Amino acid sequence: MNLRSDDELLHYIVTEDPRETEALFARARAAREKYYGADVYFRGLIEFTNYCKNDCYYCGLRRSNTKIERYRLSLEQILMCAGLGAMLGYRTFVLQGGEDPYFTRERVVEIVGALREKYPECAITLSIGERSRKSYAAFREAGANRYLLRHETANAGHYAKLHPASMSLGNRKRCLFNLKKLGYQVGSGFMVGTPFQTPENLLEDLRFLQSLEPDMVGIGPFIPQSDTPFGEEAQGSMAQSLRMVALSRLLLPAALIPATTALGTIHPQGREKALLAGANVVMPNLSPKATRKLYALYDNKICTGDEAAECLGCMTGRIRRVGFVPNMCRGDVALKRLQSGRLLRME
């Protein structure tokens, strides 16, 4: 297994042979161990708006979904979520939302600046979609360290089947490279099992990751949301999602890879299985209990009824039970080289 050729990668993308997949997962665990040991890093997720101007066919927050009740958190509410998170020990906050025009460059700068001032030791991650390079620069200037923007699919034809014509893979990629140039730790990634996806598309996703060299890679199964055009489509496979996690770990051994909520949604042990396939990050929810159900990217999303402290306790237990060690530090990306045997970290 050297995973260099397209043919070999394609083989592992589709294989269902239990011995082959276990060997793949064992290799992925060893790669992760080399850079991060047994640590699993925590990120506190604050879902601060479910308004979105985009109309992605797969997502429950799309603007054409008139059934969803919309909400926005105020600056004070966001600071309360972060305050609770900090008290619980979180050192990374992820601000995620739809592409909500209300949150102009100035408003985002204000939020990031307020968090940066109050929590100078914490990492601030944004996940608010495609913005101009100027806006990304302003957010970075205000104190944002990381940005999550999945490419969703690296094949332009496939991208066009998942999004309206107003969105393009070209712009998505441009955003990702701009973020990198601005010095963000960048996360990309994709869904597994979206409608029309082929194994060759997944191969392109891996090849794109290799060219972008992101610091984080988010991978989760597509899950239908009933009020979207893809509401009747089949959900993505857990087994294939896990293989994509493992392959991403082996191609980008120093990456931070979350065991995603989507995986936990389609299988009660989905996140544990992801940790055992090479993932090393979890992203429990810090959003107010009242708004969690409204952040309905897909149906049956888990953890919408829990308090932040319950989520933390639950995840800690899950991590320990599969033999890993919960780590509440910032968890920056490991430098891609090991110097004199010591693990160096960025920023």
Q: Which residues bind ligand SF4 (CB under 6 A)?
A: 52, 54, 56, 59, 61-62, 98-99, 129
Give yes or no for residue 99 binding ligand SAH (CB under 6 A): yes
Q: Considering only 25-33, 79-87, 95-103, 135-143, which stretch makes contact with ligand SAH by CB under 6 A?
A: 95-103
Q: Which CB, 92 or 127, lies closer to ligand SAH?
A: 127
Q: How would you classify residue 300: left for phi > 0, otherwise alpha for psi between -120 and 50, otherwise beta? A: left
Say whether 159 sits in a helix, a strand or coil. helix
Residue 149 engages ligand SAH in binding (rule: CB under 6 A): yes
Q: State the sign of the Cα–Cα–Cα–Cα dihedral 238, 239, 244, 250.
A: positive
At 139, list the tokens.
Answer: 């957010």
Is residue 135 a contact partner of residue 105, using CB atoms and an 8 Å limit?
A: yes
193/253 with CB nearer ligand SAH = 193
DSSP count for the chain of H helices, then E strands: 13, 9
Helix (H, G, I), strand (E, B) or coil at 334: strand
Q: Nearer to ligand SF4 by C-beta: 56 or 252?
A: 56
In the complex, least distance from residue 50 CB atom to ligand SAH, rounded to whole angstroms: 9
Q: Cα-atom radius of gyration of the chain, to the nearest Å? A: 19
Nearest residue to 227 (alpha-carbon basis) of 46, 63, 1: 63
Select the residue interacting with ligand SAH from 31, 40, 223, 311 (CB under 6 A): 223
Half-sphere exposure in the Cβ direction for 191 (13 Å, CA): 23
Q: How far apart are CA 28 and CA 35, in angstroms?
A: 11
Q: Does 264 bind ligand SAH (CB under 6 A)?
A: no
Q: Cβ 289 to ligand SF4, closest distance in Å?
A: 21
Binding range to ligand SAH, per CB under 6 A, among 82-90, 116-124, 215-223, 284-292: 215-223
* Contact positions vs ligand SAH (CB under 6 A): 58-59, 96, 98-99, 127, 129, 149-150, 152, 191, 220, 222-223, 225, 262, 297-298
